[in-house]
């Protein structure tokens, strides 16, 4: 009990002894002293100065001594050790800060110059790198208590902590941050000098950067006097980036930016963007300007709310005015651009109209020239001795050279027809169509580009000729179509109906061949379908193949180049039907049928010709070969074979081969077999050989010696002759 009491007396003076017992009650004084020992300060009985009174130098030095204490520092001793970081920072009161504002700029901290330090403080600075002799002290009231506890556990002065002495040697240093400064404010480093030295020994980077940041953060305005500039900070990564400085734009800058934006966004109308802020408890609408500006101290403070509200209202009104001006400027720019485009269109249209007026004036002069030439020709009876080219050719050439692509737009075809129609009407009254079917075609062909028709192609935007687009509306006849329909066609219709002989197709064929590329399509179709084909159809219906001495192809085939075979398909059917009726009583010895059918070989299709021959001709030829042809080596009659061979150019090769094989070689091989099977004294093999060669020559004259069926049949006969000559039994294959 006595030992315990002595132990407690050594460690804490606040203990009390009553009746041989130790009191463990904690009083308010114990708590205050404990707190003062933790913060390195001791409560003094020094009377605080009232507001406006100055400290004396001794009082100020005494207060600084207490304020700069640290953990484990004895406040009651004049030789107490001060923490190096506490000496480094050396924060003072407001009055002392004012006095230290004129400190030398060479100082990297707020500590005073060595000349102003007391002897005790100089000694403390010298001992900064040496192990502290006060290591292990707990507070000012328990001096040596912690040290004695460590020594009892084996620790010795100057050695590190731990069983092997590898722990720290110097006490844990503390570093006070300036008054009213938060953690990491303005890059303030919380590390002490000991921690920095340890970091350097470990090779960690960043310690020098933190020193520079701390120097700049703690430097006073007078530190950079005399021309010395603060050290440039390295752009190193920080745990917390500094808030960017707010940059405010002037009205001129905003309008200038809106002008640059107008150049890129003239195609789109000016619209105000809406941004909904849902990060807070309430939904609110913000603008781009609000997002670009971060909150400042003025916005976060609650001081002077009326003034701040009025300023914000003024700013919002000014910002709204600027936005309205920007939108108005963009709208005006768009309107200006639209108006410029409209002006450009109007200028272009004006230029086109001026060019068109110039062309119209030139066309008007051409029309006057044509009018004068037509009037002079009518007065001098020039229509009878001159043609269109001689009268108006010089004006027509100007039209072709100047306005070849604008004939229809300028109405030049109307001018041409206006002077052409009287001449055509006058001369067509004396025109004999069948005698001179090509009259007027040369003039029309030469000036056809000036005579517009609905069938003519048109030029597209690239200048290429394309078919004229078909309109749903009823097409109106052009002046040229009207002239040809009312003047030229009337005269041609009269000649076809009253003068033309169907057996003499050449004049009318020449007329249509010449005028076909020049006439409008509907006029050509009218002549063919209403005038020519009906008359030819009546003639074919009246044709009698038995009694008509003139073959039908002589007055039908000339129409093929003009009318083409597809127009005459019905007529061909009628002709085949009439020929088939006649061939029912026909004998192959009558060659007139061959002469009538042969010209149609290239006109009818292959299928039509084969069908007609198989039905009307082949049965007759098969019957004549089967009934009338006999193979007789003594007296051979070839007439039936000749009648059949005459059709070899019309009959297809497979059908002809089948006819020869079935109707000729069957009989021929049978006769040869009988001849070779006679007794040897009755068979003359030389005669057999000559007979064989003679038949080869007969088929060779018809160019059938290369026919497969003919060659195979003669090969069979030759094998039979070889068997008989060798004395072998003859086998009829």
The predicted structure's pLDDT at residue 708 = 93
What average pLDDT does the segment 51-57 reach? Answer: 43
The predicted structure's pLDDT at residue 217 = 47
What average pLDDT does the segment 549-555 reach? Answer: 93
Residue 57: pLDDT over 50: no
The predicted structure's pLDDT at residue 88 = 35
The predicted structure's pLDDT at residue 271 = 56
Residue with more model confidence, 182 or 525 = 525
The predicted structure's pLDDT at residue 258 = 61
What average pLDDT does the segment 131-159 reach? Answer: 62
- Are the beta carbons of 451 and 443 closer than 8 angstroms? no
The predicted structure's pLDDT at residue 62 = 45
The predicted structure's pLDDT at residue 275 = 76
- Are the beta carbons of 86 and 121 closer than 8 angstroms? no
pLDDT bin (cut points 50, 70, 90) of residue 259 is: low
Token reading at 654: 């497979």
pLDDT bin (cut points 50, 70, 90) of residue 730 is: confident
Give the whole-angstrom CA distance, residue 560 versus residue 558.
6
Residue 488: pLDDT over 60: yes
The predicted structure's pLDDT at residue 191 = 76
Give the whole-angstrom CA distance, residue 420 versus residue 717.
82
Token reading at 73: 């520092």
The predicted structure's pLDDT at residue 189 = 73
pLDDT bin (cut points 50, 70, 90) of residue 260 is: low
Task: Show the CA angle centred on residue 485, arms to residues 484 and 490, nearest 5°.
Answer: 100
Token reading at 198: 């340890």
The predicted structure's pLDDT at residue 156 = 77
Residue with more model confidence, 567 or 63 = 567
Token reading at 699: 């088929």
The predicted structure's pLDDT at residue 235 = 47
pLDDT tens-place string over residues 344-389 = 999 999 999 999 999 999 999 999 999 999 888 877 777 777 788 9
Q: Which residues contact 83 (CB under 8 A, 6 or more apart)?
A: 40, 68, 70, 71, 73, 173, 174, 175, 192
The predicted structure's pLDDT at residue 277 = 76
What average pLDDT does the segment 448-462 reach? Answer: 83
Give the whole-angstrom CA distance, residue 24 versus residue 9.
12
Under DSSP, the state recorded for 585 is G
The predicted structure's pLDDT at residue 282 = 79
**Percentage of the chain lying above the pLDDT 90 cut:** 45
Q: Which residues contact 418 (CB under 8 A, 6 or more apart)?
A: 370, 479
Residue 228: pLDDT over 80: no
Give the whole-angstrom CA distance, residue 214 versus residue 189.
6
pLDDT bin (cut points 50, 70, 90) of residue 116 is: very low
- Are the beta carbons of 689 and 721 closer than 8 angstroms? yes
Q: What are phi and psi of 19, to 5 degrees?
A: 65, 35
């Amino acid at each position: 009990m006595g030992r315990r009491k002595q132990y407690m007396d050594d460690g804490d003076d606040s203990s009390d002894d009553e009746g041989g017992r130790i009191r463990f009650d904690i009083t308010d004084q114990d708590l205050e002293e404990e707190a003062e020992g933790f913060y390195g300060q001791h409560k003094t009985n020094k009377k605080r100065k009232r507001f406006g009174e100055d400290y004396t130098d001794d009082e100020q030095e005494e207060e600084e001594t207490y304020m700069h204490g640290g953990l484990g520092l004895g406040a009651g001793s004049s030789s107490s050790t001060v923490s190096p970081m506490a000496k480094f920072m050396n924060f003072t009161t407001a009055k002392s800060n004012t006095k230290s504002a004129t400190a030398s700029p060479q100082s990297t901290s707020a500590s005073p110059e060595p000349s102003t330090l007391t002897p005790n403080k100089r000694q403390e600075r010298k001992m900064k790198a040496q192990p502290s002799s006060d290591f292990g002290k707990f507070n000012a009231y328990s001096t040596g208590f912690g040290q004695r506890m460590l020594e009892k556990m084996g620790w010795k002065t100057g050695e590190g902590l731990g069983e092997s002495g590898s722990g720290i040697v110097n006490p844990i240093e503390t570093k006070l941050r300036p008054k009213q400064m938060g953690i990491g404010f303005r890059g303030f480093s919380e590390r002490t000098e000991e921690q920095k030295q340890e970091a350097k020994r470990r090779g960690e980077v960043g310690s020098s950067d933190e020193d520079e940041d701390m120097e700049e953060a703690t430097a006073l305005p007078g530190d950079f006097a005399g021309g010395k500039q603060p050290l440039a900070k390295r752009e190193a990564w920080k745990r917390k980036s500094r808030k960017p400085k707010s940059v405010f734009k002037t009205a001129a800058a905003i309008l200038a930016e809106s002008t640059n934006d107008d150049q890129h966004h003239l195609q789109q109308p000016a619209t105000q963007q809406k941004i909904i802020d849902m990060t807070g408890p309430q939904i609110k609408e913000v603008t781009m300007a609000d997002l670009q500006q971060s909150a400042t101290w003025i916005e976060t403070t609650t001081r002077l709310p009326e003034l701040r509200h009025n300023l914000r209202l003024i700013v919002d009104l000014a910002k709204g005015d600027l936005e309205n001006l920007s939108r108005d400027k963009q709208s005006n720019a768009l309107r200006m651009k639209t108006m410029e485009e409209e002006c450009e269109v109007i200028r272009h249209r004006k230029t086109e109209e001026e060019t068109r007026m110039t062309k119209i004036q030139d066309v008007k002069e051409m029309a006057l020239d044509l009018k004068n030439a037509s009037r002079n020709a009518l007065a001098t009876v020039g229509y009878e001795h001159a043609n269109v080219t001689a009268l108006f050719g010089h004006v027509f050439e100007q039209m072709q050279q100047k306005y070849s692509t604008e004939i229809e737009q300028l109405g030049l075809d109307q001018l041409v027809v206006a002077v052409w129609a009287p001449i055509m009407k006058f001369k067509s009254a004396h025109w004999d169509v069948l005698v001179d079917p090509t009259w007027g075609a040369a003039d029309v062909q030469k000036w056809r580009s000036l005579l517009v028709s609905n069938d003519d192609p048109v030029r597209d935007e690239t200048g290429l000729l394309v078919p004229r687009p078909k309109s749903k509306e009823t097409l109106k006849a052009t002046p040229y179509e009207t002239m040809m329909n009312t003047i030229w066609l009337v005269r041609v219709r009269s000649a076809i109906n009253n003068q033309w002989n169907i057996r003499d197709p050449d004049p009318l064929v020449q007329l249509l061949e010449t005028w076909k590329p020049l006439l409008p399509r509907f006029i050509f179709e009218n002549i063919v379908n209403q005038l020519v084909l009906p008359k030819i159809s009546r003639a074919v219906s009246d044709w009698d193949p038995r009694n008509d001495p003139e073959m039908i192809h002589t007055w039908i085939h000339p129409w093929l180049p003009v009318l083409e075979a597809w127009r005459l398909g019905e007529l061909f059917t009628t002709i085949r039907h009439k020929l088939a009726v006649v061939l029912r009583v026909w004998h192959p010895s009558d060659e007139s049928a061959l002469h009538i059918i042969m010209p149609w070989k290239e006109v009818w299709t292959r299928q039509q010709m084969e069908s007609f021959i198989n039905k009307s001709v082949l049965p007759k030829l098969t019957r004549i070969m089967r009934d009338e042809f006999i193979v007789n080596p003594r007296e051979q009659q070839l007439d039936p074979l000749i009648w059949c061979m005459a059709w070899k150019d019309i009959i297809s090769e497979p059908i002809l081969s089948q006819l020869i094989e079935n109707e000729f070689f069957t009989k021929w091989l049978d006769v040869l077999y009988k001849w070779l099977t006679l007794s040897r004294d009755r068979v003359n093999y030389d005669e057999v050989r000559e007979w064989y060669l003679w038949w080869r020559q007969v088929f060779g004259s018809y160019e059938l010696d290369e026919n497969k069926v003919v060659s195979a049949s003669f090969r069979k006969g030759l094998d039979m002759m070889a068997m008989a000559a060798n004395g072998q039994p003859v086998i009829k294959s």
